[in-house]
Each structure stands twice: as structure tokens, then as C-alpha cells.
Structure 1
Amino acid sequence: MRTPILISSTDDTVSITVQQRSSVAPSKAFRIIVPIDLTSVFHRVAPFPGVKSVANQTEEWDHVGPTRNPQFDDGSQVDEQLTEYTEGSSFAYQLTGFTNVLSRLAAGVRGEWNFNPDGDGTLLRWTYEFKPLPGRRWILAGPFAPLWRRYMVAALARCVRAVEAAQGNS
């Protein structure tokens, strides 16, 4: 069963985008990042937990539709579904059903990764778009945003290191 799309053009969302370059070609970076072991890159960056495991993955993460439940090291979890997939260049997913503090701040999140040519390498761009609950936008856009950006920067750096290491092994 496909989850309804979380965010529409009329929603007043909070977006946070980070980017980093890699010397690896976009198609190769894409093939490494899409199925990456979440526990290897999403570590705890206070106040946010790291991913300790993934449960209930329905199928390979290589087309629109699969779902899974990332489990965090603080005992919380989230429902994740792959909502867009363009081979070699981008993918998007939505996160809903948070069991941590985000359940009181956002109805959900749309995450999107883009793998853009950058000379011989790739400019990886990752966006988290939060759909705030009523009256909570100011929290997400204000005190929450710099803390979440720090979490994303750390995770993206680990992703790029994984891409570069895989390139070195081929």
C-alpha cells in the first residue's frame, strides 16, 4: 500500500539543505548512497540519536514504494517510504510516524538526494523538508534548524567518505 504524498505546493515547510563534493561520478555515487547501511552514516549528533538498525524493510531500496523503519539508539523509530527514484541522479523519501520529539513538531519530512555532475565528480545535495504541525513552524525554522543542519553535515560527510572509499576499492 502506497503512502499518500506528505507535502504539497501549498504547505509552508521548513527546508534544510546541505551539499558536498566528491571526486566520484554521479552514477557511481548514487549506486553507493541509495542502499547504504544507515547505521554506518547516521550516528548520534546531540541532541539527535543515531540509527542503530533498520526493521521491516519490504524490498530492495531501488524503486518507488519500498518501506522500512529506521530504529534509533534512543529507542524511537520512524516510518520511511521511498517516494521518488530516478536512476543515477536522485531519490526522495518521506518520514512519518515519528515516536520521538519530532512527533510533536512535524507531521513528517520529505528527504531528497540529488547527484549532480561536477567536473569529473559529483555535487551531492541533500534536503530535508519538514512539514510543521500547526503553530510549530517557528521552532523548526528557529532553534531546531541549526542543530539539524549540524546533524546533516556530519551524516553527509560520512556518506561522501563511504563513496570515496568505495571508489578507492574499485
Structure 2
Amino acid sequence: MTIHVAESRTVAVPLEAAYDRTLAVPLTDIFGHRHLAMPSIVRVDDQRGEWGEAVGQTRTIRTSDRGSLTETLTELARPHRFGYRIDQIRGPMRPLVHHLDGAWAFAEDGSGTRITWSWEITPSSTLTVPLVALIGRMWHGYARQALASLDAILTG
């Protein structure tokens, strides 16, 4: 069983620019805030080259709760979508989440671009499903903050 969560926001930026600039923004700029139990990102390690060069590229994400996660790019479909998998989870989320598959999708929306960020969360066991569902509910506020930060970066 997976738990699906998604949030969207329309930004006043053309489609290709929204895709390219989102992929290039440092994670600490988008996710420099915590929301309830969702930690901020404090740094990224082990990234080689510019993020988004190739499917299979990896990096280690460090979070404010002393956790770490490995992110692997799984899809690059410029300018409409890029996807990734988060696994090798360390820290408070480790007993709850086996892995998650995330995606950023981009679609023309009037004179701007609708950006949708989504996660498919795979719990570590059937026993953790209720707690992972709670994390999913908290994620919506985290995602709204992240999309607002991204909007400010893209339009600033």
C-alpha cells in the first residue's frame, strides 16, 4: 500500500523556465523551513555535477532532525516532469517509511505554469500505515510552504 499526496501552485513563469529553474534551485532554498514533524533540509552532500544531468544521478539530503535520505533521479521529461526516489532513510522517519517516489510536474496554465509536487509514500510495514497517513496529512502544509518559497524564487 502506498499513500499519495500532492499539492499544486500556479506561478507567473513560462513552462520551460519553471522546469529548468526548479530543477536547479538548491533544496535548502525551497525546503529551509520545518512544518510540524516535517524537518527542514540543512544541506546536500555527494552530488556530482548539476542536478538533473541524467537519470540515475544521486545525492544525500541532510535534515534538521539529524536524518539523511538518498535521492535518486528516476525520470527527466523536460519540460513537463522530473521524478525521483528517496530511500536509505536515516533518522526519525526510518522505522515508518521504506521509500517514497516523488515527482514535480509542470503544465501551462494561462500565462504561467502550474507546478504540482507529489509523493507516493511506501510505509515500512502495514503496522506503520496509520502513522505514515498522518505524515501525509502534515506533508500538505510543508508542500504549500515549499511551493510558496519556490514561487518567490522563480518570480523574484
Relative to the length of structure 2, the TM-score reads 0.93
Is 1:28 matched up with 2:17?
A: yes
- TM-superposed CA distance for 1:60, in Å, is 2.2
Is 1:89 matched up with 2:89?
A: no
Separation of aligned partners in 2, 1:109 and 1:68? 15
Which residue does 1:56 correspond to in 2? 46
Matches within 5 A, 1:7-156: 12-42=1-31, 43-62=33-52, 63-135=54-126, 136-141=128-133, 143-156=134-147
Relative to the length of structure 1, the TM-score reads 0.85
Q: Which amino acid aligns with 2:9?
A: Q
Structure number with the higher strand fraction is 2
> 2:123–2:129: 8 Å Cα contact kept in structure 1?
yes
Unaligned runs of 5+ in 2: none
Is 1:162 matched up with 2:147?
A: no
| Bigger Cα displacement from structure 2, 129-138 vs 15-24 | 129-138
Separation of aligned partners in 1, 2:142 and 2:25? 17
- TM-superposed CA distance for 1:97, in Å, is 1.1
> 1:55–1:69: 8 Å Cα contact kept in structure 2?
yes
Unaligned runs of 5+ in 1: 1-11, 166-170
> 1:22–1:122: 8 Å Cα contact kept in structure 2?
yes
Separation of aligned partners in 2, 1:134 and 1:44? 26
